[in-house]
Amino acid sequence: MTIQVGDRIPDVPLTIATADGPEATTSSDYFAGKKVALFAVPGAYTPTCSARHLPSFVEKAGELKAKGVDEIACTSVNDAFVMGAWNQAQGSQDITMIADGNGLFAHAVGLEMDASKFGMGQRSQRYSMVVNDGVVEQLNVEAPGEYRASSAEYMLEQL
């Protein structure tokens, strides 16, 4: 079942890509006590994700933080090394990269998708959400092949 506004984020293991390497945490610990603008992409380095999705949050990071967001995070079903390299290549220090290498988070929030026909296996759908102290305040799930509702610009309109 897909997570809904008002639901608490399920507790699953996560890995944060840091400059010092992968850092293990849990979703309960990561989202506790702060307001997080989270966006999810089907894959690091994929066309729309690299050309539009990540850049929108890099560009609008200051505006999101000015509207009360404490942290901006990106999650994808990729390992921490790929997420770290992608952030180093195209992101910024304003974005926390959350590796969901086994797809546990995507599955727990009910937003996984089967991209096997593209050779990518199980992945995350494209979406964004605002999570305040572990509770979903805003959820924007894209229709297949779309990119609008999960952009930083759309999130800013809602805050």
| Residue from 49, 97, 109, 130 carrying the catalytic annotation | 49
DSSP code, position 84:
H
Above 80 in pLDDT, residue 1? no
- Residues 1-11 have a mean pLDDT of 94
At 15, phi and psi to the nearest 5? -130, 125
- Topology adopted by domain 13-154: Glutaredoxin (3.40.30)
Report the chain's mean pLDDT, rounded to a whole number: 91
Confidence tier at 146 by pLDDT (50, 70, 90): confident
User: Structural domain boundaries of the chain?
Assistant: 13-154
How crowded is the C-beta side of 64, counted as CA atoms within 13 Å? 26
CA 75 distance to own-chain centroid = 3
User: Which pLDDT tens digit goes with each residue over 18-33?
Assistant: 989 999 999 999 999 9
| CA dist., res. 50 & res. 62, Å (int) | 20
Helix (H) or strand (E) holding 63: helix 61-66
74 catalytic per annotation: no
- Measured on CA atoms in the order 36, 150, 144, 87, is the torsion positive or negative? negative
- Residue with more model confidence, 47 or 132: 132
Above 70 in pLDDT, residue 121? no
User: Which pLDDT tens digit goes with each residue over 74-113?
Assistant: 999 999 999 999 999 987 889 999 999 999 999 999 999 7
The pTM assigned to this predicted structure is 0.93
**Burial profile 72-88: b = 16 or more Cβ within 10 angstroms, e = fewer:** bbbbbbbbbebbbbbbe
